[in-house]
Amino acid sequence: MYRTAAKRALLLRAPFGCRSIVRLRFPPLLQTIGTNSPRLSISPTPSQNPETPNFSDPTSSSASTSSTFSDGPATPTAQEAPRQEGQRSRVEYEDEQARVLRASLPHVVRLGWTEAAMIAGARAVGVSPSVIGSFPRKEAAFVEFFMDECLQRLIDRIETGEDLKSMIPSERICKLVRFRLEMQAPYIAKWPQALSIQAQPLNVPTSFKQRAMLVDEIWHAVDDGASDIDWYVKRTILGGIYSTTEIYMLTDSSPDFRDTWSFLDGRMKDAFDLKKTIQEATHLAEAVGAGMGGSFQGFVKRVFQR
């Protein structure tokens, strides 16, 4: 029910060096409990037999003094050095993957959410296209990366949005949903393809987790303190509003998606009429998914069942 670091880690899948896109809003452990806490004191148990230096032996005394008062940096052991080097290499490799995916986004308009767009992105940042082979689910990883990037932008908007504080909850929710959907506007012509990728069985779990985190962030932006069944009901309703508006956006040809934002305003007014929201979403899914097969329609229906 409650926001914890563990919940964030489980819900948000931030691949390829992008795990830093969500800043856990918790102070460091030592600052929280204090360095003088008795829980941090360590003393040998009776079963332990720590070695006592022989002060009559100048060699032993010198070694003990050196190890106790040395203020220089610790030198990694022969076993630690390869491990640290391996960790650095992995971080650098994941950062490279993230750079490739970020550079691939401008190519989506022309090439779609495809491996070809990812190859173009790799070449744009001077990375060998062979790096694309390191992505186990290629196109799915591409879409999930974009979703994570959008979530971070939404979190930044919430944290820095002084104007949001003066709005009533319904206006704040509507503003944030619109802000999030506007991020997809440049790719709207190719977004049905992204939804189809998300609808594939292997990708559905991650897609639901990302949407759950999105809905949760928006609700927390209005200082929602719901618990028990209200927690699920409110997020189900907002998930329905978001997904319905997202689908409507695919059919909107009005300037600057004006009809979509009017549609969103109407859904907010009917926010607690969940049955009506689901019926409209199902109808839109059938219309939009006519040329995409049953997987997309099934995906949209499952969104509202969860």
Per domain, the residue ranges of the chain are: 3-304
3-304 CATH, one of 2.40.50.140, 3.90.580.10, 1.10.3720.10, 1.10.357.10: 1.10.357.10
User: Are the CB atoms for 248 and 260 separated by under 8 Å?
Assistant: yes
Claim: this prediction has a pTM higher than 0.75 = no
Inter-axis angle of helices 229-250 and 169-182, to 10 degrees?
A: 40
pLDDT of residue 285: 57
pLDDT of residue 235: 86
The pair of structure tokens assigned to 144 is: 């999930």
* Alpha-carbon gap, residue 143 to 149, rounded angstroms: 10
Summarize pLDDT for 29-50 with one digit per residue, the tens: 333 334 443 333 334 444 444 4
Give the end-to-end CA distance of the chain in Å, rounded to a whole number: 16
3-state SS assignment for residue 166: helix
Q: How confident is the model at residue 169 (pLDDT cuts 50, 70, 90)?
A: confident
pLDDT of residue 38: 39
3-state SS assignment for residue 202: coil
Summarize pLDDT for 45-101 with one digit per residue, the tens: 444 444 444 544 544 444 444 444 445 555 556 555 555 555 556 677 678 889 999
Whether the pLDDT of residue 112 is over 80: the answer is: yes
Q: How confident is the model at residue 134 (pLDDT cuts 50, 70, 90)?
A: confident
pLDDT of residue 13: 44
Pick from 150-154, 208-212, 222-226, 276-280: least confident: 276-280
The better pLDDT of the pair 288, 217 is held by 217
User: Are the CB atoms for 158 and 176 separated by under 8 Å?
Assistant: yes
Q: What is the mean pLDDT of residues 209-213?
A: 94
